[in-house]
Chains A and B, each alone.
Chain A
Amino acid sequence: MKMKLLRSKNWKVFFISLAFVWLQTGLVFAQQIRVVATWPALADITRQIGKELVNVDSLATGVEDPHGVPMKPSFVPRLNRADVLVLIGLEDEHSWLPALLDVANNPKILLGRPGYIDCSVGVPVLEAPTLVDRSEGDLHPRGNPHYLLDPVRAKVVAQNIATGLSRNFPQNQATFEKNLKAYTAELDSWIGRWEKMATPLRGVKFVEYHPEWIYLADRFGMKRVGSVELKPGIEPTPNHIVGLVQQIKEEKPQLLIYGAQNPRLPQQIASETGIKVVRLYSGGGNQPETDTYIKWIDYTVRTLVQSVS
Chain B
Amino acid sequence: MLFFLGGGFMDLCQTRLQTTSAVFVLCLVILFPRVGLSQEDATQALRKQLGEIQNQLKSALDRIDQLEKEKSSSSARLGQVEKSVQAVQSAPSALNPSMGLVLDANVQKRGTAGGLFDFRSAEIGIAASIDPFARLYSFINGTKNGVEVDEAAAITTSLPYNLTVKGGRFLADFGRFPKYHEHELPFVNEPLSIDRMVGGETQADGAELYYLFPTPFFLRATFGAMNKIGEGNDRIDNTVLRSGSQFTYLGRLNTYFDLTDNHSIELGTSLAYTPSVRLAGNVSGGSRMLNGVDLTYRYQPLGSLVYQGLTWGSEFYANSERFPFDIEVPNEDDPSILETRTVGKRQQSYGGYSYVDFKLNKNWSTGFLLDYAPVIDNPSQRTLSYSPYVTWNISEFNRLRFQYSYLSNNFKADKADKGNQFFLQWTTVIGAHTHGFLTR
Contact = CB atoms under 8 A, between A and B. Distances in A.
A105 B397 contact: no
Q: A-side binding surface: helix, strand, loop or mixed?
A: loop
Given A125-B81, A260-B306, A77 B362 contact: no
Range for the number of chain B residues in contact with chain A: 35 or more
Nearest to A75: B218
A76 B210 CA distance: 14
Contacts of A102: 155, 157, 436-437
Interface centre among A63, A65, A105 (most CB of B within 10 A): A105
Nearest to B210: A103
B363 A138 contact: no
Given A80-B212, A126-B77, A218-B70, A138 B396 contact: yes
Contacts of A80: 162, 212, 214
A278 B217 CA distance: 38
Nearest to B308: A262
Contacts, number: 105
Interface centre among B66, B256, B306 (most CB of A within 10 A): B306
A125 B437 CA distance: 30
A99 interface: yes
Given A102-B437, A110-B157, A233-B396, A73 B218 contact: yes
Nearest to B304: A262
Interface residues of A, number: 44
A187 interface: no
A176 to B, nearest CB: 27
A77 B217 contact: yes
A72 B261 CA distance: 10
A226 interface: no
A260 B304 CA distance: 6
Contacts of B216: 77
Contacts of A124: 74, 77-78
B428 to A, nearest CB: 10
B280 interface: no
Interface string B374-411: 00000000000000000000011100000000000000
Contacts of A103: 164, 210, 212, 220, 437
A134 B431 CA distance: 9
Contacts of B164: 103, 105
Contact of B306 (A73, A81, A261): A261
Contacts of B434: 98-99
Interface of B: 59, 66, 70, 74, 77-78, 80-81, 84, 155, 157-159, 162-164, 210, 212, 214-218, 220, 256-258, 261, 264, 266, 300, 302-307, 361-363, 395-397, 430, 434, 436-437, 440
